[in-house]
């Protein structure tokens, strides 16, 4: 009897071609060759374990399967199907009201020396639509202040200030909130959301959602505090991760995320933006499967799908792999860990495409002790970084370790014994084309300070979505 080959893996997806790779089938009489089927029709018969299908149409969905044939021409069961969408195509269609959102971190005003004014001087203010201000904390069942000094107390001199006017000692509001207020005055199209939680501060959500109405009330009271109510247009709840594990593990159940969003919408009303950063783990039984994201969608404006940090030097010996692959590729260390499959899984669950934003990292992740230039090499540990090992801003890497190749829609770089992966203006542009073809609501990024002084990556998101 002939077995099915391994499910084909699609890689090297372009506007007009795709490479398919599969593992061998077994048969008591031996395998002679394989039929490759596209949308149910045989397109090739090959003796090896790979086939590149060419002459395809840009921005189009295809389905591939592979069948093995033994030496007496008996065929076995089909492997697949695997869905592939070619890049490009109708990507000429700009997204109506595309969201172009960036995270601004309150701690960035310290060592990183990145301030609200930098959003203006980099040229980014005219190219974004939304800012997520990160982070407020979640503790004691409530939304709480993350860093009072940076948020509303730090005094800005005239040269540091968005409008060139210095703060005074007796001013009712200073800090980032006042700078954001000045930014909105200069750029009235920008909407600002206060983001709560994040990797470090998600541990409090489990307790908070035991009483969703009280939690929502606490968030409303804080975000709509009369001192800064005019600054914020929305709330973003970055719970990593509902009914799953992040820095700590949550056991509040699959419905807790939906219950939280329902309570937030009831409290904040119809005109307020309510969003969340969500997992991009599309593995079977993984984090997307752990919570009722589709049930929450009717109460939410959009989901920030964190399609980055899939791989990194927490696996100190490697294998090296790009941290933000758009698609799968032959040799990817974990199935379901890529942007396309994450977006596809949310869609399949019932989340509307226009409520999904594609996430872009403005940084790279890297290893050291690497000899192999292409992905899949071994390493001895994380590469050195400015603020923590294994991670570095794009603005640094573009000069210190320029990209040497691309894989799965993103870039990688080998310099000395260091190996990094990160997005460049070129890969961001192609990811935006993909997002348009998917009918997504737009894109977002983590975070402003990783970009160049002239806002290269924000520019690529802006032009790529237009």
Preceding peptide of 179 cis, ω within 30°: no
Phi, psi dihedrals of residue 33, rounded to the nearest 5°:
-165, 180
Local structure of 240: helix, strand or coil: coil
Q: Which residue has the tokens 């934003």?
A: 357
Which of these, 34, 31, 36, lies nearest to 18 by C-alpha position?
36
Parallel/antiparallel/unpaired status of strands 50-53 and 18-21: antiparallel
Nearest to 220 by CA among 211, 204, 232, 203: 232
Per-residue b/e over 179-213, b at no fewer than 16 CB within 10 Å? bbbbbbeeeeebbbbbbbbbeebbbbbbbbbeebe
User: Nearest-CA neighbor of 181 among 249, 133, 112, 246?
Assistant: 133
| Catalytic residue annotation | 240
State the burial class of residue 333 (Cβ atoms within 10 Å of its Cβ: 0-12, 13-18, 19+): middle
Phi/psi of residue 376, nearest 5 degrees = 100, 5
Which helix (H) or strand (E) is 295 found in, with range? helix 293-296
- Residue 453 DSSP code: T
- Neighbouring CB atoms inside 10 A of 162's CB total 24
Contacts of 463 (CB under 8 A, 6+ apart): 429, 432
Asked whether the beta carbons of 275 and 303 are under 8 A apart, the reply is yes
Buried-state track 86-98, b at ≥16 Cβ within 10 A, e below 16? bbbbebeeebeeb
Largest CA distance in the chain: 90
């Amino acid at each position: 009897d002939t077995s099915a080959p391994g499910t084909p893996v699609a890689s090297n997806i372009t506007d007009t071609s795709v490479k398919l790779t599969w593992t061998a089938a077994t048969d008591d009489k031996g395998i002679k060759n394989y039929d490759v089927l596209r949308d149910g029709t045989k397109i090739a018969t090959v003796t090896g374990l790979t086939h590149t299908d060419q002459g395809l149409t840009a921005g189009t969905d295809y389905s591939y399967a592979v069948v093995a044939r033994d030496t007496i021409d008996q065929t076995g069961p089909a492997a697949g199907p695997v869905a592939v969408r070619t890049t490009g195509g109708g990507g000429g269609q700009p997204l109506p009201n595309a969201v172009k959102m960036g995270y601004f971190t309150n701690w960035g005003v310290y060592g990183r020396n990145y301030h609200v004014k930098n959003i203006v001087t980099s040229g980014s203010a005219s190219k974004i639509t939304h800012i997520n201000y990160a982070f407020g904390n979640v503790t004691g069942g409530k939304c709480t202040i993350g860093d009072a000094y940076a948020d509303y107390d730090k005094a800005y001199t005239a040269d540091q200030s968005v409008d060139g006017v210095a703060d005074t000692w007796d001013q009712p509001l200073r800090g980032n909130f006042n700078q954001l207020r000045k930014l909105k005055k200069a750029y009235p199209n920008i909407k600002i959301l206060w983001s709560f939680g994040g990797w470090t501060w998600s541990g409090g959500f489990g307790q908070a959602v035991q009483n969703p109405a009280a939690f929502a009330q606490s968030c409303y009271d804080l975000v709509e505090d009369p001192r800064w109510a005019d600054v914020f247009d929305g709330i973003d709840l970055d719970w990593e991760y509902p009914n799953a594990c992040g820095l700590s593990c949550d056991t509040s159940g699959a419905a807790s995320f939906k219950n939280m969003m329902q309570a937030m919408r009831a409290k904040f009303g119809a005109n307020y933006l309510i969003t969340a950063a969500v997992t991009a783990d599309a593995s079977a039984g993984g984090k997307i499967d752990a919570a009722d994201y589709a049930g929450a969608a009717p109460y939410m404006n959009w989901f920030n799908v964190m399609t980055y940090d899939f791989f990194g030097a927490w696996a100190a010996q490697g294998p090296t792999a790009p941290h933000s692959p758009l698609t799968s590729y032959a040799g990817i260390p974990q199935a379901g860990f890529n942007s396309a499959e994450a977006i596809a899984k949310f869609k399949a669950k019932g989340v509307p495409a226009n409520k999904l934003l594609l996430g872009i990292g403005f940084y790279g992740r890297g290893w050291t002790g690497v000899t192999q230039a292409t992905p899949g090499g071994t390493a001895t540990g994380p590469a050195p970084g400015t603020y923590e090992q294994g991670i570095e801003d794009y603005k640094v890497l573009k000069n210190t370790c320029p990209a040497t190749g691309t894989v799965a829609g993103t870039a990688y770089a080998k310099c000395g014994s260091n190996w990094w992966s990160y997005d460049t203006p070129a890969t961001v542009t192609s990811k935006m084309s993909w997002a348009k073809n998917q009918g997504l609501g737009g894109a977002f990024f983590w975070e402003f300070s990783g970009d160049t002084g002239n806002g290269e990556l924000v520019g690529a998101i802006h032009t790529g979505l237009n």
